[in-house]
Structure 1
């Protein structure tokens, strides 16, 4: 397979692949921005958040903040986590509204229990399926991530991951570790008959067993067509969390780390 056809996660670890040059190129590509915005909009739709109510959301693999821009426009507060310093530098330069945190999601999330009303992640989760170091175990890293994410979500909240699965075995690995961590839910597939438009969204429920949203189909105007694979037999109505107060994350933020570094406080 030529390097032009290789998947990014096979070429280098994310913190290496998304270097300064790649980060700038990614964030200035109008087509990439359009796709990222569309997928972020769909992910938020699948979160099924309360209408006309600001929520506190987590963006995993936030990169340069393109998804965060949509969250801000939608009226939500957010925290972004990414492993690439170059991507976070671009986000800072773009002056995104969310708080930013440098971190490896495979080592777990550092947030207090019940902190977030929901989580989205665009094109990031599949990176955990690779062992970039001898000490990396994909099942263990996935479980560590999902278990700490489960804890950080309010009961009844959802997490939606847009992913590019490499094969069915990878999908099974991801979903099995999510279930082991306590989540229920399943895969929502949009436009399953289109090779270009087909998109996979892993929709997870924390603390409840909700009805899995239905996928979009290009041959039908009905948004209720069933393109889904649910890994729980229980089907109860999803209850949105209401009336949560919004609090900003301050401790250990990437922005503060960056400011300290600029002042020579490394």
Structure 2
């Protein structure tokens, strides 16, 4: 079965027919609701306090219904007018905006107490038009997301990366924008039930995401940080040690084509005349 991103651009793929499925198909609604509950859990919102959240790729408002059920307020954006029309027909409580997240989020700085997104982030890795550059669109999205979040808040983005390189591209774009955090993977040993959440912390400094207790069965946490990847200032390492660390980092990122370690790694080559 082909991925939706390979079928058509999101504004065309989510047409009237596809939008009606989210309204009528109870299985799709159930999956969306479960994913939203998990994202809200990872947001670590304060107890007994209503927060103002941003739902990125809100679709027909299924995630918004769960946000409202937990006593929070929300605003949603989506690129598909058909999905937004269904949300309006359902009478959702949040405010809706027709917006391409790859063009940035046009809200005031520090507006939201948190943000979540379900099954939308991977669309930014596609170039559906000649003017689309995935790296620029990801950078624009994460930079604007960092701006609209209040300091100390979190963003939880559930997505389906196609390759390890695509996943690494997304993580690096988030770190470049100033976020700290990493990914949380639920059911990593199951190809069908596996779910990946990018958990980002918005703060003045890049920090590591602490280990999250109480995850689903067989869950693991991968941590990423700018500071963790840098060598201490003034510390010198050999070329062989540099290559070893680079390979180890790539293995942690899940890359498949990583050359095995060898005693010849980093050796000085003779110049051929």
TM-score (norm 2): 0.80
CA contact (8 A) 1:188 1:215 kept: no
For 2:91, the equivalent position in structure 1 comes to: 95
In the alignment, the residues of structure 2 paired with residue 212 and residue 83 of structure 1 have an alpha-carbon distance, to the nearest angstrom, of 34
Unaligned runs of 5+ in 2: 229-273
Q: Deviations over 1:64-102 (max 9, x none)?
A: 000000000000000000000000000000000000000
List aligned pairs for 1:70-89, cutoff 5 A: 70-89=66-85
In the alignment, the residues of structure 1 paired with residue 83 and residue 123 of structure 2 have an alpha-carbon distance, to the nearest angstrom, of 16
List aligned pairs for 1:61-210, cutoff 5 A: 61-207=57-203, 209=207, 210=209
Q: Deviations over 1:126-182 (max 9, x none)?
A: 000000000000000000000000000000010001111101001011001111111
CA contact (8 A) 1:158 1:203 kept: yes
| Structure 1 residue 234 displacement after superposition | 6.7
Unaligned runs of 5+ in 1: 220-224, 236-266
- Bigger radius of gyration, 1 or 2? 2
In the alignment, the residues of structure 2 paired with residue 188 and residue 181 of structure 1 have an alpha-carbon distance, to the nearest angstrom, of 20
In the alignment, the residues of structure 2 paired with residue 215 and residue 39 of structure 1 have an alpha-carbon distance, to the nearest angstrom, of 16
Number of residue equivalences: 225
For 1:218, the equivalent position in structure 2 comes to: 217
In the alignment, the residues of structure 1 paired with residue 211 and residue 130 of structure 2 have an alpha-carbon distance, to the nearest angstrom, of 37
TM-score (norm 1): 0.82
In the alignment, the residues of structure 2 paired with residue 76 and residue 61 of structure 1 have an alpha-carbon distance, to the nearest angstrom, of 18
| Structure 1 residue 217 displacement after superposition | 4.2
SS of 2:42's partner is helix
For 1:222, the equivalent position in structure 2 comes to: none
The structure, 1 or 2, with the larger RCO (C-alpha pairs under 8 Å, 6+ apart) is: 1
CA contact (8 A) 1:61 1:82 kept: yes
CA contact (8 A) 2:54 2:76 kept: yes
After superposition, the CA RMSD in angstroms is: 1.5
